[in-house]
Amino acid sequence: MGLPHDRAHLLWNDGPTRRFKKSIESWVNAMYTDDPSMSESHDVRRARSTIVAKSSGVLCGEPVLNHLFNRYCHNHEMHWRFHEGSKFQCGDVLLEVTGNTGDLLKIERVCMNVITRLSGIATSTSEWQEKTHPVRLAATRKTNWGVLDKWAVHTGGGLTHRLDRSDGIMIKENDFAVSDSPEFSLIEAKSKLTDFLVVEVVSAEHAFRAAKCWEKILVDPASCDRITLLLDNLDPDGCTGIADIVSSMGLRDSVILEGSGGVKWDNLHHWAKSSVDVVSSGTLTMESSVVDMTMLMEAC
């Protein structure tokens, strides 16, 4: 059974979903209109533009660039040599576009900002997932470009996690602190509202209490099938101990364990052996390096 952390179906269904299209339009239009020099060039001569990789990586950004060129480049022709999620090498031509010189010059910077950043996130995600295997890898809600960053994580083989606060429900320590309801009642009530319920726990004792609550709730068929315990800032060994506790309760199949906090490149091999189902890290979207590319133009 797949993990509920995979929300890619909300972004792509035989093409970009309405939700994804709205995000693409918002970001592309904001980046394009933010540069006042965009209105300066009206050169209608024809030119051919190619995007060439200067290092290896995983391609991401095809649906975003398609919107960019269709919206702001008139009378153009596009030919993708590589497609979303494809691995490429240094020197590979990724995209060829023929259009009006003025239009190509106007969108050059936005185009390169998008494809190099999103490909950078996808590339890092692919590399991280190889090190965490068989444990799955997920993003967090810490992003700079919202859904676009989440899409890049998906393209690189990771899981998007929640796309926003309404996409699944997370009960955190502060929610328990300000709630008028007992812990069990709060978890029970939220479990009826979503197919993706996450409870943040900060210790083995806290995880045991949450698991006991879930054990009681499972008799109610109206609740979701599985709960995710987000093991916040607990190291791989601590997470393994919690996995043993949950297993001893006979709940391992109905409790998803997510390790989060302190997940870094240097300790991924420890997480791969930690007995959790998924690890999540904001580093994927907040600290990934861009992939080096260049956009070359010639008259035609």
Claim to verify: residue 281 and residue 138 sit in the same structural domain: yes
Number of domains present in the structure of the chain: 2
Tell me, yes or no, whether 1 lies in a domain. no
Mean pLDDT (10-residue bins), the chain, 300 residues: 92 96 96 76 84 98 97 94 98 97 93 98 98 97 94 98 90 75 85 91 92 87 83 94 95 95 94 96 95 95
CATH number at residue 56: 3.90.1170.20
User: Residues near 77 by Cβ (< 8 Å), separated by ≥ 6?
Assistant: 97, 98, 99
Claim to verify: residue 161 and residue 81 sit in the same structural domain: no
Number of Cβ atoms within 10 Å of the Cβ of 291? 25
The pTM score is: 0.93
Q: State residue 170 phi and psi, 5-degree precision.
A: -115, 125
Range(s) of the domain holding residue 116: 8-126+289-299
* pLDDT tens digit sequence for 18-63: 999 999 999 999 999 987 766 555 677 899 999 999 999 999 999 9
Claim to verify: residue 174 and residue 237 sit in the same structural domain: yes
Please name which of 170, 206, 166 lies closest in space to residue 187, comparing C-alpha atoms.
Answer: 170
Claim to verify: residue 100 and residue 165 sit in the same structural domain: no
Claim to verify: residue 207 and residue 260 sit in the same structural domain: yes
Claim to verify: residue 49 and residue 170 sit in the same structural domain: no
The token pair at 11 is 């972004």
Claim to verify: residue 155 and residue 263 sit in the same structural domain: yes
Tell me, yes or no, whether 3 lies in a domain. no
Claim to verify: residue 278 and residue 293 sit in the same structural domain: no
For residue 274, give Cα distances in angstroms to 14, 121, 130, 138: 36, 24, 15, 15
8 Å CB contact between 122 and 155: yes
Claim to verify: residue 121 and residue 190 sit in the same structural domain: no
Residue type, 286: M
The token pair at 79 is 């030919």
Claim to verify: residue 271 and residue 184 sit in the same structural domain: yes
